[in-house]
Amino acid sequence: MSNLINISEAASLALHSMALIARNQPQRMNVKVLARDLDVSQTHLAKVFQKLSKNGLVKSVRGPAGGFELDKPAEDISFLEIYEIIEGKVNLTDCPLGKTHCVFETCIFGDELNRISADIYATLKEMNLSKF
Amino acid sequence: MSNLINISEAASLALHSMALIARNQPQRMNVKVLARDLDVSQTHLAKVFQKLSKNGLVKSVRGPAGGFELDKPAEDISFLEIYEIIEGKVNLTDCPLGKTHCVFETCIFGDELNRISADIYATLKEMNLSKF
DNA sequence: TTTATTTAGGTACTTCAATTCCTAAATAAG
DNA sequence: CTTATTTAGGAATTGAAGTACCTAAATAAA
Ligand code: FES
Ligand code: FES
């Protein structure tokens, strides 16, 4: 069973966590309860948050009653931003696979899939945390 | 650097190989020349072809001058069919990640990404080997 | 018939990313 | 000040995908 859109487990966790934090504003949330809510290991989720924190999406507070909170308004945090912090910058070139050398001079997918890739990109860019 | 559409290296090899074989019809091609053309290891490509062969997409001929040829008309072999043999059946449910249990009652992606997943699916189903 | 070529397929190895483990640092509460 | 809680981050482990190795089976050509 496979998915057509490429969103890793880690990126999924990041998106779900950020949505939960947005919904819970202005109170912050810690990895313990987030991990419980999302039913994943604390350590894995903690790693995800190190990236989110280092990239300025969340502000971390250590110690008792600590945790994470959004570091800017919810509507200013797009799904794309979260996605790219975890997965790396999205590659939008002539080939949906980002291939530079191919036996075929023109990409075997024509430009159908590129059109769709651009569509996904725009969609992720439009979606933000304001709706939670 | 990441791609938004989920196509593994193996699936990419399968699609490119099948396109090469379609283009080279009615002569068959063997893994040796295909691997050279695609610049990958013979053994890896051979594994991909075991799946394609077992699933009736190509007919294998052993021995000198052997190799693989399409086992049905090029226009009857869709990209989707090739894709699913390698990646597994595509999951088209209410969630683009195929998640069944989620903290959010309604998928955080709304139905935007589902619409797009269905779009990719339809596109892969439409595309076939007749154009090569 | 013998030999060379080519696919079939099991097993093992490698590599890279995902995941976990463990300790340190920060800080609020008692 | 001490303790409990929580994030930070390096190191180690695991796991999956890709790759290689090896032998068997088929078959065309010599
Ligand atoms: S160039 Fe896009 S698949 Fe080969
Ligand atoms: S249900 Fe689709 S992402 Fe959570």
Reported as a single tens digit per residue, the pLDDT across A4-29 is: 999 999 999 999 999 999 999 999 99
Q: For residue A62, what pLDDT is reported?
A: 93
As a whole number, mean pLDDT of residues B11-16 equals 95
Integer Cα distance of B77 and B119 in angstroms = 19
Q: pTM above 0.75?
A: yes
Ligand 2 surroundings by CB, under 6 angstroms: B 95, 97, 99, 102, 104, 107-109
Mean pLDDT on B61-83: 94
Instruction: Please give the distance, rounded to the nearest whole angstrom, from the Cα atom of residue A102 to the centre of ligand 1.
Output: 6
Mutate to test the pocket of ligand 2, among B103, B109, B116 (most ligand atoms within 8 A of CB): B109
pLDDT at site B1: 76
- Strand B58-61 versus strand A67-70 pairing type: unpaired
Cβ–ligand 1 contact at A95 (below 6 Å)? yes
Reported as a single tens digit per residue, the pLDDT across B16-57 is: 999 999 999 899 999 999 999 999 999 999 999 999 999 999
Query: In this predicted model, what pLDDT tens digit does every residue of B104-131 receive, in sequence order?
Result: 999 999 999 999 999 999 999 999 999 9
Count of residues in chain B: 132
- Measured CA to CA in angstroms, residue B98 lies from A43, B33, B89 at distances of 24, 38, 12
Using a CB-CB cut-off of 8 Å, the residues of chain B touching A20 are: 103
Q: Which atom belonging to ligand 2 lies closest to the Cα atom of B95?
A: 2
Across all residues in chain A, what is the average pLDDT?
A: 93
Of B3, B84, B127, the CB nearest to A96: B3
When CB atoms are compared, the residue of B15, B96, B109 closest to A108 is: B15
Tell me which residues from 15 to 34 on chain A have a beta carbon below 7 angstroms from nucleic acid strand D. Answer: 30-32
Nearest to B1 among A3, A91, A120 (CB): A91
Give me the numbers of helices (H) and strands (E) for chain A, helices first please: 5, 2
Cα separation, A61 vs A68, whole angstroms:
6
pLDDT of residue A100: 83
Interface of B with A in 59-98 (CB under 8 A): 79, 84, 87-91, 96-98
Tokens of B75: 């226009």
Q: Which residue in chain A has the smallest CA separation from B23? A: A104
Please, are residues A121 and B112 in contact by the beta-carbon 8 Å criterion? no
B12 in contact with A, Cβ within 8 Å: yes
